[in-house]
Structure 1
Amino acid sequence: MDYEINYPELNMAEITFTVSKADFEKALEEAKETTKSEDPAVLREFAISSFASKVLTEAVDTNKLKLAYTPALMGTDDADGNVTITINCPLLPEVKLGQYKGLNVTKDAVDVPEEEVIAEMNRQISAQKLWETLPEGTKAEEGDQVIIDFVGEKDGVPFDGGSGENYPLILGSHSFIPGFEEQLIGSTAGEKVKVDVTFPENYFEPSLAGQPVVFMCTVKDVQKEIKPELTNEFLAKMKLEGIHSVDDFKNRLAIDLKALKEQEAENKAISTILEKVADGSEVDIPDAMIDNQVEQYVNEYENNMKQYGMTLDQYLQFSGQTLDAFKQQLRPQAILTLRQALVLEAIAEKEAIIAEDKEIEDEYALLSQMYSFPAEQLKAIIPYGTVATQLVQRKTMDFLKDQNLAK
C-alpha cells in the first residue's frame, strides 16, 4: 500500500496513507468476524490497526526506522467515506558515543574472613527446622509437630478441600481454624481424634462460613523440634550432599561466599563501566519516551501490588503520596534505564554485535527449562525480537567488560 512519510519534529516520523471506502468497509466486516463484536468503535479500531500494522512493518524496514515505543494511530474520514490513517512513530534519539574502550576499571578484591564464614554457618543452622519422632506413646504438646491424615465433614458429608494426608501441623501455630489444634494436644501416634470446630463467620467459602463441622483425624506421628546446633550430628540430620562434618560445611560455605562476593564485585565493576560510558555519551531523551517508561514502571508496581491483595491506589494512600508524585519519584530511574539502554544499543550497532538465530533458539530452550514451559509456546508469549534484544544487551555488556576491566 502506498504511503507518505514525514518527519514533523525531532525523533518523530509521521506515516500517512488512505484506505478506500470499499476496502475499509470490507475490513470492518472481517473485524466483526474476528472480534465477534458489534461495537462500531471496537470494529473501527481493529480495522485501523490491521491496515496500520502492514504499512508500519513495510515503512520501518524500508526507512530503517527505530521505534522508541508503540506508535499512536488515528483515522480520519473524508466526504467520500475514504479513511486516511496516520501513524505517529516516536523514534529513538541519536546517541553520540564517548569513550567506551580502555576505561581500565578495577574490580574490587575479594576477601572472606573466617568470622564471616562462621556467622553464615550459624545463620544457616539457626534457620533450620528439623523434627524427630518422639517415643511411642508420647503425648503431643504445644510446640510439637503432628503428622496427620484428616477428613472434614459437614452434616456427615465430606466437603471439598477438607481432606489431607501426611499433613505436618505444628500445634500452637494457629495455621488451622480456631479450636482445631487445641483438640490434638495430648494425642499420641496411631490415635484417631474427632475434632469439632466451627468455621469463622468471615470464612472465604460462603457454604462453610459460620458452619459447624467435624474433622476425623488420624495422628500418624508426634515429633519434637531438634534444637539447632553446629555439630556433626545436626549436620547429618540436615542431609546436605557432600557434607559429613562441621569442617566440610565450613569449607563449602567459604567457597560459596567467595563465589558470591566475586559475582558482586564483577557486577559492581560492570555497573561502573556502564555508568562511565553512559555519562561520557550524549543523548537527548524525549519527555514522551521518559513518560512511557514511567508508565511501564507504574504498571509493574500495580501488578506487584495485586500479588499482595492491594491496589495501587491503596499503596499510594498508605505511603501518603499522589500518583503524580509517585511518577515523579520514578522519573530519575526511568532516565537512567533509558540512557543506558540507548548507549548499549548504539555500541552494539557500531561494533556489529548481533544475536544469531541459534543463540535465540538456545535462549528459548533455556527459558523453557527454567519455567518448565514448552519453547514453542514461550515464543507466543515472549516475542522473538524481545529475546534478541536481551541477548544483544548481554553480549554488549560482555564486550564492554572485556574492553574496560583492568587486567
Structure 2
Amino acid sequence: MQIKETTNEGLARAYEVTIPAADIAARVDAEVKKIAPQVRMPGFRPGKVPENLVKKMHGEQLHAQTVNDVIRESVDKVMQDKQLRPAMQPAIDLKEGYEEGKDAVLTIDLEVLPDVDAPDIEGIKLERLTVPVADKAVEEALGNIAGQQKSYKDAAKSKKAGDGDQLIIDFTGSIDGVEFEGGKAEDAPLVIGSGQFIPGFEEQLKGAKTGDEKTITVTFPEDYPAENLKGKDAQFAVVVKQVKVEDETKVDDAFAESLGLESLDKLKELLRGQLEQETNGLTRTQMKRQLLDRLAAGHDFPVPQKMVDAEFEQIWAQLQQEASQDENPEKAMKEIEAEKDDYRHIAERRVRLGLLLSEIGQKNGVEVSQQEMSMLIQQAAQQYREEDRERFVQYVQSEPMAAAQLRAPLYEDKVVDFLFSKAEITEREVTREELEAAIEADEQAEAEAAKKAPKKAAAKKKAPAKKAPAKKEAAKDDKPAAKKAPAKKAAEKKPAAKKPAAKKADADKKPAAKKAPAKKPAAKKAPAKK
C-alpha cells in the first residue's frame, strides 16, 4: 500500500492511497479458501466443492466486501501512521474507473484538530453578582398565583354576562339540523372573552342572563382539526343555567391547602426557594460568560472550518425558526440576514471555546460517569411517548453521535464548575434588573469580540504529531444554539468509501442516519370544550 500526502495546509489534510491489485486478489483468494468448506453444491460432497467454482459463485460479492475491508483498514493505517486527530469524519472516495484486477486508488480528505495548549487556570478572578430575594418579590409571586386561581360566585338573575364573567351552560350543536359528535355538553363552564370556544361562540353570549335559551350560529375555521367540521356552518342550542362573577381570592392557609401545601408560610417558603433558584441560575450564566470571555481573550488558534460550519448551521436553523414565529417574519428574517456574518464569527468562537474547555477537562481529569450518562438518557427519554422511550434509549446507545450530543452540555458544565472551584471569586449584591442588564451586555460583548477577533493565517508547516485525544465536547456558550457533538477518533467508527461498482456488497453502503422517535403531537382542540 502506498500513501501519498497531497494536502498539508493549516488544518487541512488530504492523502492518496494506492492498494495494489495483487493484495486485493490475495485477500479474495484467502476468503475463498475460508468459506469453501462450508459451501454446498449439488454433485459434490459437503466441503469438497472446488475453489474455482466457489470463486465463480461468490467471487463478485467477496471481491466487493474485500475492497470495502481494505479501504477501511487503509484509512485506519493512514490515521495511525500520520498520527492524525480528525475533527470530523474524513471524506473517503474511491476513484472512478476502478474494477477487479486494477489497483484501488482512494482519496482521504479531512481536517485535523488543532494543537491546544491548556491554559493556566490558576489566578482566574471572577465576580459573582447576587440578588437577594426580597419579601416584595415573594408577595408578587403569591399574587400571580392567586390571580391564576380564579373562583366565581353566583350573580343575580338579572345580571347580564360580560367579559370576564363565567357562564354554566348546556349546549347541543348541529349542522343542517343533524347533531354531530363532540358538539354536546352539560354544565360546561365558559368564561366570556377567554377564547375557549370557536370564534363567534362567546361573543353571542354577551348579555345573556341566568335561564336564557339562545341559538348561536358559528362557522368552524378552515384549519379546524376535525375534517367533517372544517368551514361548516353550525347551530348551537344553548341554555344558560347560571351567570357567575369573579370572586375575590383570599390568600390564606386555606388557599395554600387548596394547592396541596400545609400553610401559607409553607407556600411562601416554596416561592422564595423558586425565586432563589431562578436568580442563582442567572448569576451562574453571568459568571460563566465572564469565564468564557477571559478564556477567549487569551486564545486565538485556528479551528476546523467544517466544525464551524456545523455550529453555524445549528445557530442559523434556530434563528430562522424563531424569525418564522415572529409577528413580522419577513422583517425578522431581514434583521438576522443583515447579521449573518456576525453569527458565523460567534460559531467560530464557540468551536474554539469548546476545544479549549475540552482540553482543560482532559488535562484535569473531568469526566461524565456512566451513571450520569444513564440518567441523562432516561431524562431525555421522558420527552417521548411511553411506547417510544425504550426505542429512544436503544437509539442513543447505538449511536455515538447521539450520545455525545446528550453528554456535551453536562461535560461542559462540569469543566466550568471545575474552573469556578479554582477561581478567585468576589461577590457584589445587585438588583435583578442589574443582573439581567449585565447578561445582556455580555451577549453583545460576545458578538463584538467574535466579530473583531483577528484571523490567523493558516499554518503551512505540519503540526507536530500528538497522541489521539479522547472525544471533544463543544461549548454552547450559554446561548440557545443547538449543542455540538464532539469529533470522533477514526478508530471509533470507520468511514465507508463510496461504491466502486453497482454490484458492490451491502457492507460498502453508508447507512442513513437514524431518526429519533417522533414526539407526541399536541392534543387537538375539541369542537367545544367542556
Question: Common fold, TM-score beyond 0.5?
Answer: yes
The number of equivalent residue pairs is 371
Aligned to 1:383: 402
Structure 1: stretches of 5+ with no match in the other structure: 23-46
Q: How far apart in 2 are the matches of 1:194 and 1:219?
A: 11
Alpha-carbon contact 1:5-1:16 (below 8 Å) kept: yes
Aligned to 1:134: 154
Alpha-carbon contact 2:152-2:244 (below 8 Å) kept: yes
Q: Deviations over 1:321-361 (max 9, x none)?
A: 584x3421312321332222111111122123233333312
Cα pair distance change 1:238/1:226, threshold 3 Å:
farther
Q: How far apart in 2 are the matches of 1:297 and 1:14?
A: 29
Amino acid at match of 1:320: K
Aligned to 1:279: 297
Q: Deviations over 1:30-87 (max 9, x none)?
A: xxxxxxxxxxxxxxxxx9xx98995698469857654434544545312658775534
Amino acid at match of 2:334: G
Alpha-carbon contact 1:97-1:280 (below 8 Å) kept: no
Aligned to 1:240: 259
- What's the secondary structure of 1:96's corresponding residue? coil
Q: How far apart in 1 are the matches of 2:91 and 2:186?
A: 56
1:27-176 superposed matches below 5 A: 58=76, 62=80, 65-69=84-88, 71-72=90-91, 74-78=93-97, 80=99, 84-125=105-146, 127-128=147-148, 130-134=150-154, 141-143=161-163, 144-148=165-169, 150-159=171-180, 162=183, 168-174=189-195, 176=197
Q: How far apart in 2 are the matches of 1:141 and 1:60?
A: 80
Q: How far apart in 1 are the matches of 2:332 and 2:4?
A: 48
Q: Which structure is richer in relative contact order (CA contacts within 8 A, separation 6 or more)?
A: 2
Aligned to 1:336: 349
- What's the secondary structure of 2:342's corresponding residue? helix
* Deviates most, 293-302 or 195-204: 195-204
Alpha-carbon contact 2:88-2:306 (below 8 Å) kept: no
Q: How far apart in 2 are the matches of 1:53 and 1:131?
A: 73
1:398 maps to 2:420: no
- What's the secondary structure of 2:148's corresponding residue? coil
- What's the secondary structure of 1:330's corresponding residue? helix
Which among 306, 315, 318 is matched to residue 300 of structure 1? 318
Amino acid at match of 2:128: K
Cα pair distance change 1:171/1:54, threshold 3 Å:
farther
Cα pair distance change 1:293/1:405, threshold 3 Å:
same
Aligned to 2:480: none
Alpha-carbon contact 1:97-1:282 (below 8 Å) kept: no
1:196 maps to 2:196: no
- What's the secondary structure of 1:283's corresponding residue? coil
* Deviates most, 195-204 or 209-218: 195-204
- TM-score when normalising by structure 1: 0.70
- What's the secondary structure of 1:105's corresponding residue? strand
Cα pair distance change 1:151/1:65, threshold 3 Å:
farther
- What's the secondary structure of 2:128's corresponding residue? coil
Cα pair distance change 1:297/1:161, threshold 3 Å:
farther
Amino acid at match of 2:8: P
Cα pair distance change 1:80/1:242, threshold 3 Å:
closer
Alpha-carbon contact 2:87-2:304 (below 8 Å) kept: no
Alpha-carbon contact 1:11-1:91 (below 8 Å) kept: yes
Aligned to 1:184: 205
Alpha-carbon contact 1:316-1:322 (below 8 Å) kept: no
- TM-score when normalising by structure 2: 0.56
Aligned to 1:36: none
Q: How far apart in 2 are the matches of 1:406 and 1:385?
A: 31
Amino acid at match of 1:380: Y
1:13-24 superposed matches below 5 A: 13-14=13-14
> Cα offset for 1:405?
4.8
Percent identity over the alignment?
24
1:191-270 superposed matches below 5 A: 194-199=215-220, 208=229, 211-217=232-238, 222-227=243-248, 231-232=251-252, 236=255, 239-242=258-261, 244-245=263-264, 249-270=267-288
Q: How far apart in 2 are the matches of 1:18 and 1:158?
A: 77
Q: Deviations over 1:90-147 (max 9, x none)?
A: 233222232223424342344334444444444554x525031415857560221235
